[in-house]
């Protein structure tokens, strides 16, 4: 097996070209590139990459299968632990997880584990039918899962594999959570999300859309209807705002609304699809997390000039480095150490934004240096649309309908970190509703832990 030292880059669309279309930016490995990249793995004895993966994929084993050009088996190996591999291969921050601890990274470049995971899953989708899982022995117990994001899909898939009857209830008309309504087509094509959700359904999971738990039906009613345990994976979809004058003007969007219009409702193909998005020529996006980058890059593709306004410096930007690079390459302007103070309107519509310059002071509770306004440094930026992407928290519709559910002061649900059980026996939770917002793979890791917790709970219940 030949060992090449240099990591093989994944080809991608040129920045100028991709800024004008919604097609996927990263193009994926060819079989030759995948096998060559996989053959760089030295199969180090400690395999730190495995512990770096929140869903415990046997990374060295699937990489070996790719190096041997045994692509279908590589995909099956990943699916033993992860039901959403093509999604994770695209959106996981591998640099902080498996690749961040890869032994090869100490002296050179880590193995491109994410790109290889994506390759195996794509290869299987395009060239081989999904492998049929052996039919599990039926278990006594019906489980309801609230929310079809990565946390809900994972707990559902894991429990179906053990043999439980599982139904997922989703408030929106399309399943997938942020994977469907938040992350843009050009980073995560929706056909791929659909395919992996169909795979979860093929394991025996029943998926019902347009059901808002807490409104259409309550958790208590689900228990009365014969469900023995409930998992809450309702995410953190309630957007935060800046609370500055002018935020209710026409032309101001939360990133959540903007991304939902574009990604889920396909506003970029209006009027072929019914939902429009009225965006101006000059758009300001406030914030510098992944959501802000996604909103900015979507706005650019809709034909606007886009500026990101962020109150701290580049070093504190929470978005993945790769996303920041992509945004810069595509021509998005960054105004750092700048904070909005007022949105100025004319005839009810946004016309400009007043900002103030900031400097960094002492570190705050988050450990990051606190941004401090420089008095008298106010200035005006022209714009006709503003997208606010400064964080979100869990929507209280469901949690308010559950008396006795212990919550934190941030509106997240308190759980036992081992079992993911809440303060109410038989009710479990995980993903963004417990963390306040992390990553797809962390939400899936919670789903795995909760599946074990629910299994143990139901087994114990059956013995009583």
User: How many of the other CB atoms lie within 10 Å of CB of 336?
Assistant: 18
**C-alpha to C-alpha distance for 292 and 228, rounded to whole angstroms:** 40
Greatest Cα pair distance in the chain:
71
Tokens encoding 409: 């002061």
Q: Which stretch binds ligand SF4 (CB under 6 A): 99-107, 115-123, 227-235, 435-443?
A: 99-107
Structure tokens given for 459: 């087994």
Contact 244, 342 (CB under 8 A): yes
Taking CB under 6 A as the binding criterion, the range among 29-37, 45-53, 218-226, 245-253 that sits at the site for ligand SF4 is 45-53
Using CB under 6 A, which of the segments 1-9, 371-379, 427-435, 451-459 binds ligand FAD?
427-435
Distance CA 383, CA 351 (A): 6
Select the binding partner of residue 242 from ligand SF4, ligand FAD, none (C-beta < 5 to 8 A, by kind). Answer: none
Binding piece for ligand SF4, criterion CB under 6 A, among 100-108, 160-168, 172-180, 249-257: 100-108
Taking alpha carbons only, the member of 428, 418, 423, 417 closest to residue 164 is: 428
Calculate the alpha carbon distances from 3 to 6, 99, 222 in Å. Answer: 9, 18, 56
CA–CA distance, 10 with 115 (Å, rounded to integer): 7
Neighbouring C-alpha atoms within 13 Å toward the C-beta of 275? 13
- Cα–Cα dist 52/202, whole Å: 29
User: Residues 4, 44, 208, 374: which binds ligand SF4 (CB under 6 A)?
Assistant: 44
Q: Which residues of 247-268 are buried (b: 16+ CB within 10 A; e: fewer)?
A: bebebbbbbbebbbbbbbbbbb
Give the pair of three-digit tokens for residue 398: 């469901």
Binding mask 292-331 for ligand FAD (x = CB under 6 A): --x-------------------------------------
Cβ proximity to ligand SF4: between 104 and 211 the closer is 104
CA distance 399 to 379: 42
Q: How far is the CB of 188 from ligand FAD (least distance, A)?
A: 8
Give the C-alpha separation, 232 to 422, whole Å: 9
- For position 85 contacting ligand FAD by CB under 6 A, the verdict is no
Q: HEC states along 203-253? A: CCCEEECCCCECCCECHHHHHHCCCCEEEECCCCCEECCCCCCCCCCECEE
Q: Smallest distance, Å, CB 394 to ligand FAD?
A: 8
Q: Per CB under 6 A, which region of 57-65, 96-104, 227-235, 456-464 contacts ligand FAD?
A: 227-235
Cα–Cα distance measured from residue 178 to residue 146, given in angstroms and rounded to the nearest whole number: 14
Does 148 engage in binding with ligand FAD (CB under 6 A)?
Answer: yes
Minimum Å distance from CB 364 to ligand FAD?
Answer: 23
**Strand, helix or coil at 354?**
strand
Select the binding partner of residue 432 from ligand SF4, ligand FAD, none (C-beta < 5 to 8 A, by kind): ligand FAD
Q: CB nearer to ligand SF4: give 102 or 427.
A: 102
Burial of 274 (0-12, 13-18, 19+ CB in 10 A): exposed
Task: Give min distance, CB of 187 to ligand FAD, in A.
Answer: 7
Closer Cβ to ligand SF4, 104 or 407, answer by number: 104
Q: Is 64 or 311 the residue whose CB approaches ligand SF4 more closely?
A: 64
Please choose, out of 56-64, 230-238, 240-248, 374-382, the segment that lies near ligand SF4 by the rule CB under 6 A.
56-64
Region from 44-52, 302-310, 352-360, 443-451 binding ligand SF4, contact rule CB under 6 A: 44-52
Smallest distance, Å, CB 230 to ligand FAD? 11
Residue 49 near residue 102 (C-beta atoms within 8 A): yes
Task: Name which of ligand SF4, ligand FAD, none residue 102 binds, using a CB cut-off of 5 to 8 Å depending on partner kind.
Answer: ligand SF4
Nearer to ligand FAD, 249 or 402 (CB): 402
**103 counts as binding ligand SF4 under rule CB under 6 A:** yes
The site string for ligand FAD over 238-277 (x = CB under 6 A, - otherwise) reads: ---------------------x------------------
Span 34-53, contacts to ligand FAD by CB under 6 A:
none
What does the alpha-carbon distance between residue 414 and residue 105 come to, in Å, rounded to a whole number?
Answer: 36
**DSSP secondary structure string, 32-56?**
HHHHHHHTT----TT-HHHHT-TT-
**Footprint on residues 106-125 left by ligand SF4 (CB under 6 A):** 111, 113
Find the part of the chain contacting ligand FAD (CB under 6 A) among 46-54, 129-137, 233-241, 379-387: 233-241
Sites of contact with ligand FAD (CB under 6 A):
91-93, 146-152, 169-172, 177-178, 182-183, 212-214, 233-235, 237, 259, 290-291, 294, 395, 397-398, 431-433, 437-441, 443
| Contacts with ligand SF4, residue ranges (CB under 6 A) | 41-44, 47-49, 59-60, 63, 102-104, 111, 113
């Amino acid at each position: 097996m030949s060992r090449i030292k240099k990591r093989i880059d994944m080809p991608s669309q040129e920045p100028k070209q991709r800024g004008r279309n919604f097609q996927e930016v990263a193009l994926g490995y060819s079989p030759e590139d995948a096998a060559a990249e996989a053959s760089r793995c030295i199969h180090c004895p400690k395999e730190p990459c495995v512990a770096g993966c929140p869903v415990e994929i046997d990374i060295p084993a699937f990489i070996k299968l790719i190096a041997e050009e045994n692509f279908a088996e590589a995909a099956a190996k990943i699916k033993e632990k992860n039901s959403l591999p093509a999604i994770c291969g695209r959106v996981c921050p591998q640099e902080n997880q498996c690749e961040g601890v890869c032994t090869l990274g100490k002296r050179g470049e880590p193995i491109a584990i994410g790109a290889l995971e994506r390759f195996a899953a794509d290869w299987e989708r395009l060239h081989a039918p999904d492998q049929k899982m052996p039919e599990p022995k039926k278990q006594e117990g019906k489980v309801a899962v609230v929310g079809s994001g990565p946390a809900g899909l994972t707990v559902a898939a894991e429990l179906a594999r053990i043999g439980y009857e599982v139904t997922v209830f989703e408030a929106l008309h399309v399943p997938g959570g942020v994977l469907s309504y938040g992350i843009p087509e050009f980073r995560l094509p929706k056909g791929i999300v659909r395919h992996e959700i169909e795979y979860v359904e093929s394991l025996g999971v029943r998926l019902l859309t347009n059901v808002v738990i807490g409104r259409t039906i309550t958790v208590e009613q689900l228990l009365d209807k014969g469900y023995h345990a409930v998992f809450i994976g309702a995410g953190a979809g309630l957007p935060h705002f800046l609370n500055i004058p002018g935020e209710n003007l026409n032309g101001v969007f939360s990133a959540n609304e903007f991304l939902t219009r574009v990604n889920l409702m396909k506003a970029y193909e209006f009027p072929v699809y019914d939902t429009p998005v009225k965006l101006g020529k000059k758009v300001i996006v406030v914030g510098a997390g992944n959501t802000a980058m996604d909103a900015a890059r979507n706005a650019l593709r809709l034909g606007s000039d886009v500026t990101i306004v962020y109150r701290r410096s580049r070093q504190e930007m929470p978005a993945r480095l790769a996303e920041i690079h992509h945004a810069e390459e595509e021509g998005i302007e960054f105004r750092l150490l700048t904070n909005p103070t007022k949105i100025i309107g004319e005839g009810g519509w946004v016309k400009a934004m007043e900002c103030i310059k900031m400097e960094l002071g002492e570190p705050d509770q988050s450990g990051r240096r606190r941004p401090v306004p420089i008095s008298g440094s106010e200035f005006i930026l022209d714009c006709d649309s503003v997208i606010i992407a400064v964080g979100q928290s869990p929507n209280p519709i469901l949690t308010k309908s559950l008396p006795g559910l212990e919550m934190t002061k941030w509106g997240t649900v308190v759980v036992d970190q081992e079992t993911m059980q809440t303060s109410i026996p038989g009710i479990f939770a995980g993903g963004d509703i417990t963390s306040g917002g992390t990553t797809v793979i962390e939400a899936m890791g919670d789903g795995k832990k909760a599946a074990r917790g629910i299994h143990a709970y139901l087994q114990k219940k059956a013995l009583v």
